[in-house]
Amino acid sequence: MLLIGKRGALAGAMLLISAGEALATENIVCTAPNYDTSFSFLVGTTPGLKPLSLSMEAKGRKWATSAEAGVTPILVAQSFSDEGGMKIDVTDGNAEAIIAKLRVSYAHEEGTDGIFSGTLHIVGVGAWPVTCLGE
């Protein structure tokens, strides 16, 4: 698992998001232990957790909110964050069904590094433990 210090990029982004407003854009990448599955999203200066773009990759398949050749279109259905973590639901490109769920918790004890970890479930493809890091 990836450990992120108190002053790490994702810790800062999560605190700013949960506090209401991020100060700059940040790409957050959640990966499975073998790095062949990922869920990444860009957050901006708007209050709350509102991904500006999002992409996923698993088992040789790719999904994204941006139109790209060879990539399945998706939409962000809903997103939520607080001091305990974040949740994001993703739908197919027609917003007809939830096809993926990211559930990430923040674990931290006084004087220790925090860990952002949880699960990514892509319906019909699989479920993975993930850790997240801001870039």
Does any domain span residue 21? yes
Euclidean distance between CA atoms 20 and 55, whole angstroms:
24
Give the model's pLDDT for residue 115. Answer: 77
Structural domain span for residue 67 = 9-134
**Confidence band (pLDDT; 50, 70, 90) for 23?**
low
Higher pLDDT, 14 or 87: 87
Give the model's pLDDT for residue 113. Answer: 67
Does any domain span residue 25? yes
Does any domain span residue 3? no
**Domain count along the chain:** 1
Write down the pTM of the prediction.
0.77
Does any domain span residue 2? no
